[in-house]
């Protein structure tokens, strides 16, 4: 068994709309390959209060459904108190509920995920020029 290693990279994405779902699976897998680590854990973390990470299917219709669901459960401009400050309470609430990170098992060089589990960055208050995603790979 090799030496325990920690490897991290920051991925950066420009978003174009207020709500957007971006599939980042391939980029995360490239970081894992670059790390050379074969077994351990992969952390995917968004250091933003108005974005989130989900793990689920990605195709154009479900991407629209995610956004419809976000608008339904966290409607922008619905009288939230924080909107008095910068008009994005819906984005903070959705980020708080969905979460800013996900952790995956890494086994034999592969992130363990189901056929319909892609890694998705969710923009909740775009457009933004530089949304960061930190990918940290820990293991041997």
Rg (CA), the chain: 16
CB of 19 to Zn ion, least distance (A): 15
Q: Are 21 and 66 in contact (CB under 8 A)?
A: yes
DSSP for 18-57 reads SSEEEE-HHHHHHHHHHH---SEEEEEE---TTEEEEEE-
**Out of 13, 88, 106, 131, which residue is the one contacting Zn ion (CB under 5 A)?**
88
- CB under 5 A: which stretch of 52-60, 70-78, 84-92, 106-114 binds Zn ion? 84-92
According to the binding rule CB under 5 A, does residue 95 interact with Zn ion? no
CB of 46 to Zn ion, least distance (A): 15
CB of 137 to Zn ion, least distance (A): 31
Q: Kindly compute the dihedral angle of the four CA atoms of residues 74, 79, 85, 90, in this order, to the nearest 10 degrees.
A: 0
Q: Which is nearer to Zn ion, 59 or 87 (CB)?
A: 87
* Interface contacts to Zn ion, rule CB under 5 A: 86, 88
């Amino acid at each position: 068994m090799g030496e325990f290693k920690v490897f991290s990279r920051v991925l950066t994405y420009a978003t174009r709309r207020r709500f957007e779902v971006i599939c980042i699976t391939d980029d995360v897998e490239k970081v894992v390959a670059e790390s050379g680590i074969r077994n351990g854990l992969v952390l995917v973390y968004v250091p933003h209060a108005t974005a989130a990470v989900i793990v689920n299917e990605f195709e154009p219709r479900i991407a629209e459904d995610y956004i419809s669901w976000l608008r339904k459960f966290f409607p922008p401009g619905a009288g939230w108190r924080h909107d008095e400050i910068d008009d994005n309470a819906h984005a903070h609430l959705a980020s708080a509920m969905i979460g800013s990170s996900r952790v995956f098992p890494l086994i034999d060089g592969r992130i363990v995920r189901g056929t319909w589990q892609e890694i998705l960055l969710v923009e909740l208050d775009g457009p933004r020029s530089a949304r960061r995603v930190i990918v940290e790979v820990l293991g041997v």
